[in-house]
Structure 1
Amino acid sequence: MSKKLVLGVGIAFSVLISPFSQVFADDLTGGERKQVDNVAHRGAAGYAPENTIAGFDLAVDMKADYIEIDVQKSKDGELVVIHDTTVDRTTDGTGKVGDLTLKQLKSLDAGSWKDEKFAGEPIPTFEEILDRYYGKVGILIELKAPQLYPGIEEQVAEALKKRNLDKPQNEKIIIQSFNFKSMKKMNKLLPEVPIGVLTSNHTDTTTEALQEFSTYADWFNPNYGNVSKELVNQVHSLDMQIGSWTVRSQEAADLLFEMEVDAIISDYPDYVDPRN
Protein backbone atom coordinates (compact mmCIF):
# COMPACT_ATOMS: atom_id res chain seq x y z
CA MET A 1 0.00 0.00 0.00
CA SER A 2 1.41 3.43 -0.95
CA LYS A 3 2.22 6.12 1.59
CA LYS A 4 -0.43 8.41 0.15
CA LEU A 5 -3.10 5.70 0.27
CA VAL A 6 -2.36 4.96 3.91
CA LEU A 7 -2.65 8.63 4.76
CA GLY A 8 -5.80 8.97 2.69
CA VAL A 9 -7.49 6.13 4.56
CA GLY A 10 -6.57 7.80 7.85
CA ILE A 11 -8.00 11.13 6.72
CA ALA A 12 -11.20 9.49 5.49
CA PHE A 13 -11.60 7.80 8.86
CA SER A 14 -11.04 11.08 10.67
CA VAL A 15 -13.81 12.68 8.59
CA LEU A 16 -16.17 9.91 9.60
CA ILE A 17 -15.50 10.37 13.31
CA SER A 18 -15.26 14.18 13.27
CA PRO A 19 -18.84 14.77 14.55
CA PHE A 20 -18.00 12.74 17.64
CA SER A 21 -14.68 14.52 18.06
CA GLN A 22 -16.42 17.89 18.00
CA VAL A 23 -18.63 16.91 20.91
CA PHE A 24 -15.55 16.47 23.08
CA ALA A 25 -13.44 19.24 21.54
CA ASP A 26 -13.78 21.48 24.58
CA ASP A 27 -12.88 18.73 27.05
CA LEU A 28 -9.75 16.99 25.83
CA THR A 29 -8.54 14.04 27.85
CA GLY A 30 -5.07 12.55 27.91
CA GLY A 31 -6.19 9.77 25.57
CA GLU A 32 -7.59 12.21 23.05
CA ARG A 33 -4.48 14.37 23.15
CA LYS A 34 -2.34 11.31 22.43
CA GLN A 35 -3.88 11.30 18.94
CA VAL A 36 -1.52 14.21 18.26
CA ASP A 37 2.06 13.02 17.81
CA ASN A 38 4.32 14.42 20.52
CA VAL A 39 7.68 15.21 18.88
CA ALA A 40 10.58 16.09 21.17
CA HIS A 41 12.49 18.83 19.35
CA ARG A 42 16.20 17.93 19.34
CA GLY A 43 15.25 15.72 22.29
CA ALA A 44 13.71 17.30 25.37
CA ALA A 45 15.72 20.42 24.54
CA GLY A 46 13.99 22.58 27.12
CA TYR A 47 15.44 20.45 29.90
CA ALA A 48 18.62 18.86 28.53
CA PRO A 49 21.27 19.71 25.93
CA GLU A 50 19.87 19.44 22.44
CA ASN A 51 20.82 16.58 20.12
CA THR A 52 22.53 14.55 22.86
CA ILE A 53 21.88 11.15 24.36
CA ALA A 54 20.89 12.86 27.61
CA GLY A 55 18.23 14.88 25.80
CA PHE A 56 16.92 11.96 23.78
CA ASP A 57 16.81 9.63 26.80
CA LEU A 58 14.81 12.23 28.69
CA ALA A 59 12.40 12.56 25.77
CA VAL A 60 11.81 8.80 25.85
CA ASP A 61 11.26 8.96 29.61
CA MET A 62 8.74 11.76 29.01
CA LYS A 63 6.78 9.48 26.66
CA ALA A 64 7.42 11.38 23.43
CA ASP A 65 6.17 9.66 20.29
CA TYR A 66 9.17 10.87 18.27
CA ILE A 67 12.54 12.43 18.83
CA GLU A 68 13.59 15.02 16.25
CA ILE A 69 17.25 14.95 15.23
CA ASP A 70 19.43 17.07 12.92
CA VAL A 71 21.89 15.25 10.65
CA GLN A 72 25.06 16.65 9.04
CA LYS A 73 28.41 15.24 7.86
CA SER A 74 31.88 15.46 9.34
CA LYS A 75 34.97 16.31 7.31
CA ASP A 76 35.73 12.60 6.94
CA GLY A 77 32.21 11.79 5.78
CA GLU A 78 30.56 10.47 8.96
CA LEU A 79 26.93 11.34 9.71
CA VAL A 80 26.63 13.28 12.97
CA VAL A 81 23.73 14.72 14.94
CA ILE A 82 23.99 18.46 15.57
CA HIS A 83 21.77 21.41 14.66
CA ASP A 84 24.02 24.35 13.77
CA THR A 85 26.42 24.17 10.86
CA THR A 86 29.11 25.30 13.33
CA VAL A 87 29.92 23.79 16.72
CA ASP A 88 30.34 27.16 18.48
CA ARG A 89 26.94 27.51 20.18
CA THR A 90 26.44 24.03 21.60
CA THR A 91 29.98 22.82 22.35
CA ASP A 92 33.27 24.04 23.79
CA GLY A 93 34.80 24.04 20.31
CA THR A 94 34.79 26.31 17.28
CA GLY A 95 34.51 25.80 13.56
CA LYS A 96 32.21 24.36 10.92
CA VAL A 97 30.88 20.85 11.38
CA GLY A 98 32.01 19.94 7.87
CA ASP A 99 35.56 21.11 8.60
CA LEU A 100 36.03 18.81 11.61
CA THR A 101 36.69 15.06 11.61
CA LEU A 102 34.54 12.67 13.57
CA LYS A 103 37.33 12.27 16.11
CA GLN A 104 37.51 16.03 16.58
CA LEU A 105 33.73 16.32 16.90
CA LYS A 106 33.62 13.47 19.41
CA SER A 107 36.22 15.20 21.58
CA LEU A 108 33.94 18.19 22.15
CA ASP A 109 31.75 18.78 25.21
CA ALA A 110 28.18 19.22 23.94
CA GLY A 111 26.53 19.37 27.36
CA SER A 112 28.14 21.94 29.64
CA TRP A 113 26.66 24.93 27.80
CA LYS A 114 23.23 23.80 29.04
CA ASP A 115 24.23 22.85 32.60
CA GLU A 116 27.38 21.56 34.27
CA LYS A 117 25.56 18.37 35.22
CA PHE A 118 25.65 17.48 31.51
CA ALA A 119 29.40 18.02 31.20
CA GLY A 120 31.05 15.61 28.79
CA GLU A 121 27.98 14.80 26.68
CA PRO A 122 29.36 14.03 23.21
CA ILE A 123 27.98 14.74 19.77
CA PRO A 124 26.32 11.46 18.73
CA THR A 125 26.53 9.86 15.31
CA PHE A 126 23.43 9.16 13.24
CA GLU A 127 23.99 5.42 13.44
CA GLU A 128 24.33 5.56 17.24
CA ILE A 129 20.91 7.23 17.40
CA LEU A 130 19.31 4.68 15.08
CA ASP A 131 20.74 1.75 17.03
CA ARG A 132 19.83 3.16 20.45
CA TYR A 133 16.32 4.43 19.81
CA TYR A 134 14.60 2.69 16.94
CA GLY A 135 11.93 0.44 18.41
CA LYS A 136 11.75 2.64 21.53
CA VAL A 137 10.53 5.85 19.93
CA GLY A 138 9.85 7.26 16.48
CA ILE A 139 12.65 9.24 14.84
CA LEU A 140 12.04 12.41 12.85
CA ILE A 141 15.23 12.94 10.86
CA GLU A 142 16.01 16.44 9.61
CA LEU A 143 18.69 16.80 6.97
CA LYS A 144 20.34 20.04 8.02
CA ALA A 145 21.71 22.15 5.15
CA PRO A 146 22.07 19.11 2.85
CA GLN A 147 23.38 21.37 0.08
CA LEU A 148 26.62 21.57 2.08
CA TYR A 149 27.06 17.80 2.09
CA PRO A 150 26.92 16.17 -1.35
CA GLY A 151 25.71 12.60 -1.12
CA ILE A 152 24.15 12.93 2.34
CA GLU A 153 20.80 11.67 1.04
CA GLU A 154 22.32 8.42 -0.26
CA GLN A 155 24.28 7.97 2.97
CA VAL A 156 21.21 8.41 5.16
CA ALA A 157 19.25 6.05 2.94
CA GLU A 158 22.00 3.43 3.15
CA ALA A 159 22.14 3.62 6.96
CA LEU A 160 18.37 3.05 7.10
CA LYS A 161 18.43 0.21 4.58
CA LYS A 162 21.25 -1.47 6.50
CA ARG A 163 18.88 -1.74 9.46
CA ASN A 164 15.79 -2.58 7.40
CA LEU A 165 14.35 0.81 8.30
CA ASP A 166 13.60 1.76 4.71
CA LYS A 167 10.20 0.17 5.33
CA PRO A 168 9.47 1.47 8.83
CA GLN A 169 6.57 -0.01 10.76
CA ASN A 170 3.87 2.47 11.80
CA GLU A 171 5.72 5.25 9.95
CA LYS A 172 8.10 5.61 12.89
CA ILE A 173 10.84 6.98 10.64
CA ILE A 174 10.17 10.33 8.94
CA ILE A 175 12.68 12.43 6.99
CA GLN A 176 12.30 16.19 6.61
CA SER A 177 14.21 19.29 5.49
CA PHE A 178 13.88 22.92 4.50
CA ASN A 179 15.60 21.89 1.28
CA PHE A 180 12.78 20.75 -1.00
CA LYS A 181 15.09 19.44 -3.72
CA SER A 182 16.72 17.18 -1.15
CA MET A 183 13.32 15.83 -0.06
CA LYS A 184 12.34 15.05 -3.65
CA LYS A 185 15.54 13.04 -3.85
CA MET A 186 14.84 11.24 -0.55
CA ASN A 187 11.36 10.33 -1.76
CA LYS A 188 12.91 8.57 -4.75
CA LEU A 189 15.60 6.86 -2.65
CA LEU A 190 13.18 5.75 0.08
CA PRO A 191 9.69 5.60 -1.44
CA GLU A 192 8.18 3.89 1.61
CA VAL A 193 9.54 6.35 4.18
CA PRO A 194 7.33 9.38 4.92
CA ILE A 195 8.81 12.67 3.73
CA GLY A 196 8.25 16.08 5.30
CA VAL A 197 8.89 19.62 4.09
CA LEU A 198 9.80 22.32 6.60
CA THR A 199 9.07 25.99 6.11
CA SER A 200 8.72 29.30 7.91
CA ASN A 201 7.82 31.09 4.68
CA HIS A 202 4.20 32.12 4.25
CA THR A 203 4.50 31.85 0.46
CA ASP A 204 4.87 28.08 0.88
CA THR A 205 1.30 27.88 2.22
CA THR A 206 -0.42 28.84 -1.04
CA THR A 207 -2.69 26.33 -2.75
CA GLU A 208 -0.20 25.97 -5.62
CA ALA A 209 2.75 25.39 -3.30
CA LEU A 210 0.87 22.83 -1.20
CA GLN A 211 -0.22 20.94 -4.31
CA GLU A 212 3.41 20.74 -5.44
CA PHE A 213 4.55 19.48 -2.03
CA SER A 214 1.84 16.81 -2.06
CA THR A 215 3.42 15.20 -5.14
CA TYR A 216 6.34 13.94 -3.04
CA ALA A 217 5.76 14.79 0.63
CA ASP A 218 3.57 13.21 3.28
CA TRP A 219 4.06 15.92 5.91
CA PHE A 220 3.89 19.70 5.66
CA ASN A 221 5.63 21.14 8.73
CA PRO A 222 5.40 24.93 9.11
CA ASN A 223 6.40 27.27 11.90
CA TYR A 224 3.47 27.49 14.30
CA GLY A 225 3.07 31.21 13.54
CA ASN A 226 1.88 30.23 10.04
CA VAL A 227 -0.69 27.67 11.18
CA SER A 228 -4.39 28.33 10.83
CA LYS A 229 -7.40 26.06 10.79
CA GLU A 230 -7.79 26.82 7.09
CA LEU A 231 -4.20 25.72 6.41
CA VAL A 232 -4.70 22.50 8.39
CA ASN A 233 -7.80 21.72 6.33
CA GLN A 234 -5.95 22.46 3.08
CA VAL A 235 -3.09 20.17 4.01
CA HIS A 236 -5.46 17.37 4.99
CA SER A 237 -7.43 17.77 1.75
CA LEU A 238 -4.21 16.96 -0.13
CA ASP A 239 -3.66 13.74 1.85
CA MET A 240 -0.78 15.21 3.82
CA GLN A 241 -0.35 15.55 7.55
CA ILE A 242 0.78 18.68 9.34
CA GLY A 243 3.26 19.04 12.20
CA SER A 244 4.17 22.41 13.65
CA TRP A 245 7.27 23.77 15.41
CA THR A 246 8.81 24.97 17.66
CA VAL A 247 6.46 25.02 20.64
CA ARG A 248 7.96 26.55 23.76
CA SER A 249 4.83 27.49 25.71
CA GLN A 250 1.71 25.71 26.93
CA GLU A 251 -0.39 28.36 25.20
CA ALA A 252 1.15 27.57 21.81
CA ALA A 253 0.60 23.84 22.34
CA ASP A 254 -3.04 24.39 23.31
CA LEU A 255 -3.62 26.57 20.25
CA LEU A 256 -2.25 23.86 17.96
CA PHE A 257 -4.48 21.26 19.61
CA GLU A 258 -7.44 23.47 18.75
CA MET A 259 -6.22 23.74 15.15
CA GLU A 260 -6.19 19.89 15.01
CA VAL A 261 -2.64 19.49 13.74
CA ASP A 262 -1.26 15.96 13.51
CA ALA A 263 2.01 16.58 15.38
CA ILE A 264 3.42 19.17 17.76
CA ILE A 265 7.18 19.61 17.75
CA SER A 266 8.25 21.00 21.10
CA ASP A 267 11.27 21.52 23.34
CA TYR A 268 8.95 20.59 26.19
CA PRO A 269 7.23 17.20 25.65
CA ASP A 270 5.22 17.72 28.84
CA TYR A 271 3.37 20.62 27.18
CA VAL A 272 2.00 18.13 24.63
CA ASP A 273 1.43 15.03 26.76
CA PRO A 274 -0.64 15.67 29.91
CA ARG A 275 0.64 12.44 31.47
CA ASN A 276 3.88 14.22 32.37
Structure 2
Amino acid sequence: MNKKLLVGAGVAFTLLFNPFSQASAGELSVGERKQMDNVAHRGASGYAPENTIAAFDLAVDMKADYIEIDVQRSKDGELVLIHDTTVNRTTNGTGNVRDLTFEQLRSLDAGSWFGEEFAGERLPTFEEILDRYRGKVGILIELKAPELYPGIEKQVAQALKERNMDKPKNNKIIIQSFNFESMKISNELLPRVPIGVLTSNRAHTTAEALEEFSTYADWFNPSYGIVTEELVNQVHSLGMKMGSWTARSQEAVDFLFEMGVDAIITDYPDYVDPRK
Protein backbone atom coordinates (compact mmCIF):
# COMPACT_ATOMS: atom_id res chain seq x y z
CA MET A 1 0.00 0.00 0.00
CA ASN A 2 1.35 3.39 -0.95
CA LYS A 3 0.23 5.55 1.95
CA LYS A 4 1.20 8.65 0.01
CA LEU A 5 -1.99 8.35 -2.04
CA LEU A 6 -3.96 9.08 1.11
CA VAL A 7 -1.97 12.07 2.32
CA GLY A 8 -3.83 14.80 0.44
CA ALA A 9 -7.24 13.66 1.59
CA GLY A 10 -5.93 13.04 5.09
CA VAL A 11 -4.55 16.55 5.42
CA ALA A 12 -7.79 18.13 4.31
CA PHE A 13 -9.86 15.96 6.60
CA THR A 14 -7.60 16.67 9.55
CA LEU A 15 -7.72 20.41 9.10
CA LEU A 16 -11.48 20.47 8.68
CA PHE A 17 -12.61 17.98 11.26
CA ASN A 18 -9.93 17.64 13.94
CA PRO A 19 -11.93 18.46 17.10
CA PHE A 20 -8.74 19.08 19.06
CA SER A 21 -7.39 21.88 16.90
CA GLN A 22 -8.93 24.57 19.09
CA ALA A 23 -9.77 22.72 22.29
CA SER A 24 -7.94 21.65 25.39
CA ALA A 25 -8.72 18.52 27.37
CA GLY A 26 -10.76 20.46 29.87
CA GLU A 27 -12.98 21.88 27.10
CA LEU A 28 -13.75 18.61 25.34
CA SER A 29 -17.32 17.40 25.37
CA VAL A 30 -18.14 13.80 26.25
CA GLY A 31 -18.78 13.15 22.56
CA GLU A 32 -15.39 14.53 21.57
CA ARG A 33 -13.58 12.48 24.20
CA LYS A 34 -15.24 9.33 22.88
CA GLN A 35 -13.81 10.03 19.42
CA MET A 36 -10.38 9.16 20.80
CA ASP A 37 -9.54 5.46 20.72
CA ASN A 38 -9.06 3.87 24.13
CA VAL A 39 -6.36 1.20 23.81
CA ALA A 40 -5.87 -1.24 26.69
CA HIS A 41 -2.11 -1.76 26.91
CA ARG A 42 -1.46 -5.51 27.19
CA GLY A 43 -5.10 -5.58 28.28
CA ALA A 44 -6.29 -3.73 31.36
CA SER A 45 -2.84 -4.40 32.77
CA GLY A 46 -3.17 -1.99 35.66
CA TYR A 47 -5.75 -4.33 37.13
CA ALA A 48 -4.82 -7.81 35.88
CA PRO A 49 -1.64 -9.59 34.70
CA GLU A 50 -0.53 -8.27 31.31
CA ASN A 51 -1.09 -10.24 28.10
CA THR A 52 -3.51 -12.69 29.73
CA ILE A 53 -7.15 -13.54 29.08
CA ALA A 54 -8.00 -12.00 32.46
CA ALA A 55 -6.56 -8.64 31.38
CA PHE A 56 -8.15 -8.74 27.93
CA ASP A 57 -11.59 -9.75 29.22
CA LEU A 58 -11.45 -6.92 31.74
CA ALA A 59 -10.49 -4.46 28.99
CA VAL A 60 -13.56 -5.49 27.01
CA ASP A 61 -15.70 -5.08 30.12
CA MET A 62 -14.21 -1.62 30.58
CA LYS A 63 -15.32 -0.62 27.06
CA ALA A 64 -11.84 -0.31 25.54
CA ASP A 65 -11.83 0.23 21.78
CA TYR A 66 -8.71 -1.92 21.32
CA ILE A 67 -6.62 -4.41 23.21
CA GLU A 68 -2.87 -4.17 22.59
CA ILE A 69 -1.00 -7.48 22.44
CA ASP A 70 2.67 -8.49 22.16
CA VAL A 71 3.42 -11.38 19.82
CA GLN A 72 6.51 -13.61 19.93
CA ARG A 73 7.23 -17.21 18.90
CA SER A 74 8.07 -20.42 20.72
CA LYS A 75 11.01 -22.64 19.83
CA ASP A 76 8.67 -24.94 17.91
CA GLY A 77 6.90 -22.19 15.99
CA GLU A 78 3.80 -21.28 17.98
CA LEU A 79 2.84 -17.61 18.21
CA VAL A 80 2.38 -16.64 21.86
CA LEU A 81 1.62 -13.46 23.76
CA ILE A 82 4.28 -12.08 26.09
CA HIS A 83 6.03 -8.72 26.31
CA ASP A 84 9.58 -9.47 27.44
CA THR A 85 11.88 -11.65 25.35
CA THR A 86 12.38 -13.75 28.49
CA VAL A 87 9.69 -15.30 30.68
CA ASN A 88 11.45 -14.29 33.91
CA ARG A 89 9.43 -11.22 34.92
CA THR A 90 5.83 -12.29 34.25
CA THR A 91 5.87 -16.04 34.85
CA ASN A 92 7.24 -18.57 37.32
CA GLY A 93 9.77 -19.75 34.73
CA THR A 94 13.10 -18.62 33.37
CA GLY A 95 14.66 -18.46 29.93
CA ASN A 96 14.24 -16.89 26.53
CA VAL A 97 10.83 -17.17 24.89
CA ARG A 98 12.40 -18.37 21.65
CA ASP A 99 14.31 -21.15 23.43
CA LEU A 100 11.23 -22.71 25.06
CA THR A 101 8.73 -25.02 23.37
CA PHE A 102 5.07 -24.17 23.34
CA GLU A 103 4.40 -26.93 25.84
CA GLN A 104 6.98 -25.43 28.18
CA LEU A 105 5.58 -21.93 27.75
CA ARG A 106 2.01 -23.10 28.21
CA SER A 107 2.87 -24.82 31.49
CA LEU A 108 4.00 -21.56 33.09
CA ASP A 109 1.93 -19.58 35.58
CA ALA A 110 1.56 -16.10 34.10
CA GLY A 111 -0.70 -14.67 36.78
CA SER A 112 0.59 -15.32 40.30
CA TRP A 113 3.29 -12.64 40.03
CA PHE A 114 0.49 -10.05 39.80
CA GLY A 115 -1.79 -11.45 42.47
CA GLU A 116 -2.86 -14.73 44.02
CA GLU A 117 -6.33 -14.41 42.51
CA PHE A 118 -4.75 -14.75 39.06
CA ALA A 119 -2.85 -17.96 39.79
CA GLY A 120 -2.95 -20.35 36.86
CA GLU A 121 -3.31 -17.76 34.09
CA ARG A 122 -1.52 -19.06 31.00
CA LEU A 123 0.24 -17.42 28.10
CA PRO A 124 -2.39 -17.17 25.35
CA THR A 125 -1.65 -17.99 21.73
CA PHE A 126 -2.10 -15.40 19.00
CA GLU A 127 -4.78 -17.51 17.32
CA GLU A 128 -6.71 -17.86 20.59
CA ILE A 129 -6.84 -14.10 20.89
CA LEU A 130 -8.02 -13.64 17.31
CA ASP A 131 -10.77 -16.23 17.77
CA ARG A 132 -11.89 -14.99 21.18
CA TYR A 133 -12.03 -11.25 20.50
CA ARG A 134 -12.75 -10.86 16.80
CA GLY A 135 -15.81 -8.67 16.40
CA LYS A 136 -15.78 -7.75 20.11
CA VAL A 137 -12.89 -5.30 20.29
CA GLY A 138 -10.15 -3.94 18.06
CA ILE A 139 -6.75 -5.62 18.24
CA LEU A 140 -3.49 -3.67 18.13
CA ILE A 141 -0.84 -6.30 17.35
CA GLU A 142 2.73 -5.50 18.31
CA LEU A 143 5.43 -7.67 16.79
CA LYS A 144 7.87 -7.82 19.68
CA ALA A 145 11.54 -8.07 18.65
CA PRO A 146 10.67 -9.55 15.23
CA GLU A 147 14.36 -9.63 14.36
CA LEU A 148 14.55 -12.65 16.70
CA TYR A 149 11.87 -14.50 14.76
CA PRO A 150 12.57 -14.57 11.01
CA GLY A 151 9.35 -14.84 9.02
CA ILE A 152 7.03 -13.92 11.87
CA GLU A 153 5.40 -11.25 9.69
CA LYS A 154 4.27 -13.92 7.23
CA GLN A 155 3.03 -16.16 10.04
CA VAL A 156 0.95 -13.36 11.55
CA ALA A 157 -0.40 -12.44 8.13
CA GLN A 158 -1.40 -16.04 7.46
CA ALA A 159 -3.32 -16.29 10.73
CA LEU A 160 -5.23 -13.12 9.86
CA LYS A 161 -5.94 -14.24 6.30
CA GLU A 162 -7.27 -17.61 7.45
CA ARG A 163 -9.90 -15.72 9.45
CA ASN A 164 -10.60 -13.12 6.80
CA MET A 165 -9.20 -10.54 9.19
CA ASP A 166 -6.75 -9.13 6.65
CA LYS A 167 -9.53 -6.81 5.49
CA PRO A 168 -10.55 -5.40 8.87
CA LYS A 169 -13.80 -3.51 9.19
CA ASN A 170 -13.37 0.01 10.59
CA ASN A 171 -9.59 -0.56 10.69
CA LYS A 172 -10.01 -2.58 13.89
CA ILE A 173 -6.82 -4.57 13.27
CA ILE A 174 -3.51 -2.66 13.43
CA ILE A 175 0.03 -4.04 13.35
CA GLN A 176 2.89 -2.09 14.93
CA SER A 177 6.54 -2.52 15.92
CA PHE A 178 9.70 -0.67 16.86
CA ASN A 179 11.30 -2.55 13.96
CA PHE A 180 10.60 -0.43 10.90
CA GLU A 181 11.83 -2.99 8.36
CA SER A 182 9.40 -5.49 9.84
CA MET A 183 6.58 -3.01 9.32
CA LYS A 184 7.54 -2.50 5.69
CA ILE A 185 7.27 -6.27 5.23
CA SER A 186 3.91 -6.36 7.03
CA ASN A 187 2.64 -3.54 4.84
CA GLU A 188 3.47 -5.55 1.73
CA LEU A 189 1.90 -8.74 3.11
CA LEU A 190 -1.21 -7.02 4.44
CA PRO A 191 -1.86 -3.95 2.30
CA ARG A 192 -5.33 -3.39 3.77
CA VAL A 193 -4.26 -3.59 7.42
CA PRO A 194 -3.14 -0.32 9.04
CA ILE A 195 0.54 -0.24 10.01
CA GLY A 196 2.07 1.59 12.98
CA VAL A 197 5.62 2.52 13.88
CA LEU A 198 6.68 2.76 17.54
CA THR A 199 9.40 4.99 18.91
CA SER A 200 10.64 6.85 21.95
CA ASN A 201 13.46 8.48 19.99
CA ARG A 202 13.18 12.17 19.14
CA ALA A 203 15.41 11.53 16.11
CA HIS A 204 12.40 9.83 14.55
CA THR A 205 10.30 13.00 14.80
CA THR A 206 12.17 15.04 12.19
CA ALA A 207 10.33 16.12 9.07
CA GLU A 208 12.43 13.73 6.99
CA ALA A 209 11.80 10.75 9.27
CA LEU A 210 8.07 11.38 9.43
CA GLU A 211 7.90 11.73 5.66
CA GLU A 212 9.57 8.34 5.27
CA PHE A 213 7.23 6.68 7.77
CA SER A 214 4.22 8.06 5.92
CA THR A 215 5.16 6.09 2.80
CA TYR A 216 4.18 2.81 4.49
CA ALA A 217 2.66 3.56 7.90
CA ASP A 218 -0.80 4.75 8.90
CA TRP A 219 0.07 5.34 12.57
CA PHE A 220 3.03 7.04 14.23
CA ASN A 221 3.00 5.89 17.87
CA PRO A 222 5.50 7.65 20.15
CA SER A 223 6.01 7.51 23.90
CA TYR A 224 4.02 10.29 25.52
CA GLY A 225 7.20 11.92 26.81
CA ILE A 226 8.04 13.18 23.34
CA VAL A 227 4.52 14.21 22.29
CA THR A 228 3.93 17.86 21.50
CA GLU A 229 1.05 19.61 19.79
CA GLU A 230 3.42 20.49 16.94
CA LEU A 231 4.34 16.82 16.48
CA VAL A 232 0.69 15.79 16.44
CA ASN A 233 0.00 18.39 13.77
CA GLN A 234 2.99 17.24 11.71
CA VAL A 235 1.84 13.63 11.86
CA HIS A 236 -1.71 14.58 10.88
CA SER A 237 -0.46 16.72 8.02
CA LEU A 238 1.13 13.61 6.51
CA GLY A 239 -2.10 11.65 6.68
CA MET A 240 -1.07 9.52 9.65
CA LYS A 241 -2.71 9.11 13.03
CA MET A 242 -1.01 9.08 16.42
CA GLY A 243 -1.46 6.65 19.30
CA SER A 244 0.71 7.45 22.31
CA TRP A 245 1.88 5.20 25.15
CA THR A 246 1.91 4.39 27.99
CA ALA A 247 -0.44 6.59 30.01
CA ARG A 248 -0.39 5.28 33.59
CA SER A 249 -1.87 8.30 35.38
CA GLN A 250 -4.92 10.49 34.91
CA GLU A 251 -2.55 13.43 34.35
CA ALA A 252 -0.85 11.64 31.45
CA VAL A 253 -4.19 10.74 29.91
CA ASP A 254 -5.45 14.31 30.21
CA PHE A 255 -2.23 15.62 28.66
CA LEU A 256 -2.70 13.37 25.63
CA PHE A 257 -6.32 14.47 25.29
CA GLU A 258 -5.09 18.05 25.25
CA MET A 259 -2.45 17.30 22.61
CA GLY A 260 -5.12 15.86 20.30
CA VAL A 261 -3.72 12.40 19.69
CA ASP A 262 -5.99 9.85 18.02
CA ALA A 263 -5.51 7.02 20.51
CA ILE A 264 -4.37 6.73 24.11
CA ILE A 265 -2.57 3.51 24.99
CA THR A 266 -3.01 2.93 28.71
CA ASP A 267 -2.85 0.30 31.46
CA TYR A 268 -6.02 1.88 32.89
CA PRO A 269 -8.83 2.10 30.32
CA ASP A 270 -11.12 3.72 32.88
CA TYR A 271 -8.82 6.75 32.95
CA VAL A 272 -9.73 7.37 29.30
CA ASP A 273 -13.38 6.34 29.49
CA PRO A 274 -14.88 6.66 32.97
CA ARG A 275 -17.87 4.44 32.18
CA LYS A 276 -16.16 1.78 34.32
Shorter-chain TM-score: which interval? over 0.9
CA drift at 1:169: 0.5
Partner of 2:273: 273
The DSSP-based 3-state class of the residue aligned with 2:275 is coil
Q: Which amino acid aligns with 2:266?
A: S
Q: Which amino acid aligns with 1:127?
A: E
Write the deviation string for residues 42-92 of structure 1: whole angstroms up to 9, x where unpaired. 000000000000000000000000000000000000000000000000000
Partner of 1:236: 236
Q: 1:23 to 1:190 in 2, by over 3 A?
A: closer
Q: Which amino acid aligns with 1:22?
A: Q
Partner of 2:144: 144
Q: 1:87 to 1:237 in 2, by over 3 A?
A: same
Cα pair 1:174 1:193 within 8 Å, conserved: yes
Say which is worse superposed, 25-34 or 207-216, in terms of deviation: 25-34
* 1:195 partnered with 2:195: yes
Q: Which amino acid aligns with 2:231?
A: L
Say which is worse superposed, 29-38 or 202-211, in terms of deviation: 29-38
CA drift at 1:132: 0.3
Write the deviation string for residues 94-120 of structure 1: whole angstroms up to 9, x where unpaired. 100001111111100000000000000
Partner of 1:220: 220
CA drift at 1:18: 4.8
Partner of 2:92: 92
Number of aligned residue pairs: give it. 276
Q: 1:218 to 1:17 in 2, by over 3 A?
A: closer
CA drift at 1:31: 1.9
Cα distance in 2 for residues equivalent to 1:19 and 1:60: 26
Question: Which structure 2 segments of 5+ residues have no match?
Answer: none
Q: 1:48 to 1:7 in 2, by over 3 A?
A: farther
Partner of 1:29: 29
Cα distance in 2 for residues equivalent to 1:235 and 1:20: 14
Q: Which amino acid aligns with 1:197?
A: V
Cα distance in 2 for residues equivalent to 1:265 and 1:18: 19
Matches within 5 A, 1:98-247: 98-247=98-247
Q: 1:25 to 1:82 in 2, by over 3 A?
A: closer
**Identity over aligned pairs, percent:** 77
Cα distance in 1 for residues equivalent to 2:20 and 2:89: 47
Cα pair 2:3 2:214 within 8 Å, conserved: no
Cα pair 2:92 2:109 within 8 Å, conserved: yes
Cα pair 1:43 1:68 within 8 Å, conserved: yes
Q: Which amino acid aligns with 1:264?
A: I
Cα distance in 2 for residues equivalent to 1:238 and 1:7: 5
Q: Which amino acid aligns with 1:110?
A: A
Q: Which amino acid aligns with 1:266?
A: T
Cα distance in 1 for residues equivalent to 2:239 and 2:218: 7
Cα pair 2:36 2:262 within 8 Å, conserved: yes
CA drift at 1:22: 3.2
Cα pair 1:40 1:267 within 8 Å, conserved: yes
The DSSP-based 3-state class of the residue aligned with 1:22 is coil
Q: 1:159 to 1:117 in 2, by over 3 A?
A: same
Question: Which structure 1 segments of 5+ residues have no match?
Answer: none
Write the deviation string for residues 207-238 of structure 1: whole angstroms up to 9, x where unpaired. 00000000100000000000000000000010
TM-score normalised by L of structure 1: 0.95
Higher relative contact order (CA 8 A, sep 6+): 2
The DSSP-based 3-state class of the residue aligned with 1:46 is coil
Q: Which amino acid aligns with 2:155?
A: Q
Cα distance in 2 for residues equivalent to 1:7 and 1:85: 36
Q: 1:204 to 1:78 in 2, by over 3 A?
A: same
Cα pair 2:3 2:216 within 8 Å, conserved: no
Cα distance in 1 for residues equivalent to 2:232 and 2:173: 22
Q: 1:211 to 1:17 in 2, by over 3 A?
A: closer
Cα pair 1:142 1:175 within 8 Å, conserved: yes
Q: 1:173 to 1:19 in 2, by over 3 A?
A: closer
Say which is worse superposed, 266-275 or 146-155, in terms of deviation: 266-275
